[in-house]
Every structure is written in structure tokens, then in C-alpha cells.
Amino acid sequence: MLTDGWGWTLVASIHENNAHDNGRCTVGDKWSSEQGNNQNTNHGDGNWENPKTFGNVASVTSDDFKSLAYFSIDDAKDIMIWQVPNNTPLSMWRSNSYFRYRTYGQFLDNFRGNLQNLFQSYYPIRQGVYSPGSDNGPSFQAKYDEGSPADTLSHFGPSTQPYLRDIYIQFRTVNGAQNINAICPGVKVDSAGLNYFQNACIGGSGYWGDDFNCGDFSGMTVNGYGTGTGRSVDKTLIETTFLIFYR
């Protein structure tokens, strides 16, 4: 934890456990819904907002993880995200990471010091409630410690890339069908790309009306698993775990 003067704490990991088998909002999709693509549970599992914990540090790149620190730390200032290949052992997270980037403006001061408060009190995840575009959450600029913004964009689908702006992290996006994603790691989506949020952002609501877009990685495989065509991300991105740290 040598980044920018130490002090970082791992609080969560998000990965897609079954996109290859077209599993959507099934067991393991803890950051969206494990209850299926179900209109009756369109809020999903609520894990961005609630005090539930799951997983363990030893398996964070093979199973979703949420620590007590995610909501018990209430004075965090910034977050850092590492994009690490799935199934990477802890000792190799840093050396094997594709990207490492972090906010630097102390944005969490405005949201009571953690992501749980940001989602619970300011930008809840409620499918069918918020207006597309106008109710999107904030975005914050990031600094890179590993990788480059241009390389980040290259892993998204070519149809999606024109609507993305790099060097950002964006929260609570709302698409044209009023579906919700929780976080867009490494990018923000232009207002003209209203219906591309699900192809670039992760986590969110538990009902999408179609089976392609439900799940922790939402619509990242809509044009095939890891194909890097149309709206689908490439294999590097679909097989990535996003590690989230506070400081």
C-alpha cells in the first residue's frame, strides 16, 4: 500500500462470476441481484447501500467482497480502484494489475465519508424511479498510478467508446429505461450516450426487462462474451476484478 503516501484500506471487490454462461442476476451477483432479473425485486440486493458484509480477503478476485470498513469508516476522503485479473492471488495484485487509479479531490467529504452513505442517502439505486440523464450521480476526476486513460477506453466496445470520457469515476447512472448502474470505473458517460451506461458501468438494479443487461457487469457482453465488438467489452475487461480502497 505504497500509493501516494500510504493509508489505503481495501473495502470491496466486484467481478462477474458467470457472464460466460449468460448467467444474469444469479448466485454470485451480489452487487446487483442474486434473485434473478425480477421486476418484484428491482432494487436488487441493496448491497451498495446496506450494512451487510460478504466474502473474504483471500478470495476477493474470485468472489465478491464487502468488508465492514465499507460502511464503518466514516471519514474516508477518496477512493482508489485497481483492475486486477480474476483469480489473482493477493501477493500479485499490484504486480498483475492492469490499471490503478484514484480520486484526489476528497469528494467523500460531501457524502459523509463512505460509499454506503453516498448511495443510501444521496444517490439510491431504485429502478424505474429516476429521470434518465438529469438524475445521474456525480463524476470525479482520477489520477493513474498504473496504465493509461487511453488504454482504459480501448477495452470497451467500439460502439460505446465514443460516448465515454476517460480519467473519471462516475456514480449512480440512469439509462433511458430508468435502469441503474452503481459505478462507472475509469470513465464517465456523455449525456448523448444515455443508453450506453450499462455497457460501461457495473453493479446496480435487479431488473432490466431483458436478460442481457442484469448482473454485476450489466450489459458488457451484449454482443458476445469478451468479443470487443459492438457494445461488448473485450476479454481483458470482462475477466477483471475491480478492487475498491478508501483513504
Copy the grid coordinates of residue 131: 429521470
State yes or no: pLDDT of 1 exceeds 70.
no
Query: Where would I find the H helices in 89-173?
Result: 93-96, 115-117, 149-154
Nearest to 130 by CA among 184, 46, 204: 204
Residue 3's pLDDT is: 78
Give the start-to-end residue ranges of the domains of the chain.
6-246
Neighbouring CB atoms inside 10 A of 109's CB total 12
Query: Average of pLDDT values for 221-227?
Result: 92
The pTM of the full predicted model, rounded to 2 decimals, is 0.95
Tens digit of each residue's pLDDT (9 = 90 or more) over 187-217: 999 989 999 999 999 999 888 877 678 899 9
Among the ranges given (30-39, 60-69, 163-172, 207-216), the one the predictor scored with the smallest mean pLDDT: 207-216
- Note whether 244 and 13 are within 8 A (CB): yes
* Average pLDDT score, the chain: 93
Residue 22's pLDDT is: 60
Residue 21's pLDDT is: 63
Query: Where would I find the H helices in 57-200?
Result: 69-72, 93-96, 115-117, 149-154
Tens digit of each residue's pLDDT (9 = 90 or more) over 7-17: 999 999 999 87
State yes or no: pLDDT of 105 exceeds 80.
yes
Query: Average of pLDDT values for 22-38?
Result: 86
Query: Average of pLDDT values for 204-232?
Result: 89
